[in-house]
């Protein structure tokens, strides 16, 4: 990573009602990514349970717990950065969160992002979902710095709020990692558009990790995990079935893009500004 090159693996895996099977599948696919030279691996949103809001309490774990213990062990075993998608997390006060835990090559926890924007939507005749029925929103913002790599992790619906991505870029993030489980209604319309927009707006790489489409599940994930470069070009993309996606990121491209189209230097901070009011930086 010191050279500005990063081999990234995205695990687009099937998830079901058997937590142990989900964890075993994640471990197997992380191992496959490591065998192919991945230095960072990303799992999908809610990778250890079905994406069913009323069942999140059944699968929720406190930290540390079985799922995070596995993530830590995998990161240490394969000497890589592991963004553990997300899991339902129970805190000491009893609240539940949709949380992404990130572990470094020593197995140490280097980042925890609790989903800030809960997915409460109602599209008549197509999709109704209310995460807030069981989950609480996170309250912290974090940019993760490890070695020479600076990145931020958001979860799914967070990507629809462009202020968050810009805050991360202003604080040095050169990669946005987005575990997400878009559905079969919004996915075809918005998945590519949103991921490309966040990359283009902020002249960063975006890595989006989705579960695979499970036709037996009540919530069908869109799939199509992807990597987007700072020009807004799709560098690599999966289909909707289970797949390990690999991409080689040349982070030096970011400086070239920003030199050619210097939007960060040309911002009118005399007219507008973006302020982080709370949380880690």
**Which residues carry out catalysis?**
45, 115, 156
254 φ, ψ to 5°?
-60, -45
Q: Got the DSSP string for 171-230?
A: TT--EEEEE---BTTTHHHHHHHHHHHHHHHHT-EEEEE-PPP-TTSSS-B----EEE-T
| Spatial CB neighbours of 19, under 8 Å, sequence gap ≥ 6 | 48, 49, 59, 66, 67
Write down how long the chain is: 281
Longest Cα–Cα distance in the chain: 54
State the angle between helix axes of 66-78 and 19-35 in degrees (0 to 180), rounded to the nearest 10.
Answer: 10
Instruction: Give the whole-angstrom CA distance, residue 74 versus residue 234.
Output: 28
Give the number of C-alpha atoms closer than 13 A to the C-alpha of residue 84, restricted to the C-beta side: 36
Residue spans of beta strands (DSSP E) within 212-261 = 226-228, 234-237, 243-250
Per DSSP, helices labelled H in 36-96 are: 56-59, 66-78
């Amino acid at each position: 990573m010191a050279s500005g090159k990063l081999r990234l693996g995205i695990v687009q895996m099937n998830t079901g009602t058997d937590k142990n099977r989900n964890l075993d599948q994640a471990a197997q696919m992380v191992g496959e990514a490591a065998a192919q030279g991945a230095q960072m691996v990303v799992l999908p949103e809610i990778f250890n349970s079905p994406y069913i809001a009323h069942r999140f309490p059944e699968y929720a774990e406190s930290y540390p717990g079985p799922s995070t213990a596995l993530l830590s062990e995998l990161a240490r075993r394969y000497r890589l950065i592991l963004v553990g998608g997300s899991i339902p997390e129970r805190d000491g006060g009893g609240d539940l969160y949709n949380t992404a835990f990130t572990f470094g090559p020593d197995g140490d926890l280097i980042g925890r992002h609790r989903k800030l924007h809960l997915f409460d939507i109602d599209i008549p005749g197509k999709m109704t979902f209310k995460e807030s029925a069981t989950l609480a929103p996170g309250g912290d913002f974090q940019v993760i710095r490890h070695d020479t790599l600076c990145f931020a992790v958001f979860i799914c619906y967070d990507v629809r709020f462009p202020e968050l991505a810009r805050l991360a870029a202003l604080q040095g993030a050169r990669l946005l990692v987005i575990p997400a489980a878009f559905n079969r209604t919004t996915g075809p319309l918005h998945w590519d558009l949103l991921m490309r927009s966040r990359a283009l707006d902020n002249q960063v790489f975006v890595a989006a990790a989705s579960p695979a489409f499970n036709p037996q599940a009540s919530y069908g994930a869109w799939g199509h995990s992807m990597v987007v470069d700072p020009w807004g070009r799709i560098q690599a993309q999966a289909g909707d079935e289970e797949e390990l996606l690999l991409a080689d990121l040349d982070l030096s491209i970011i400086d070239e893009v920003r030199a050619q189209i210097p939007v960060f230097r040309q911002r009118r901070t005399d007219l507008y500004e973006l302020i982080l009011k709370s949380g880690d930086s």
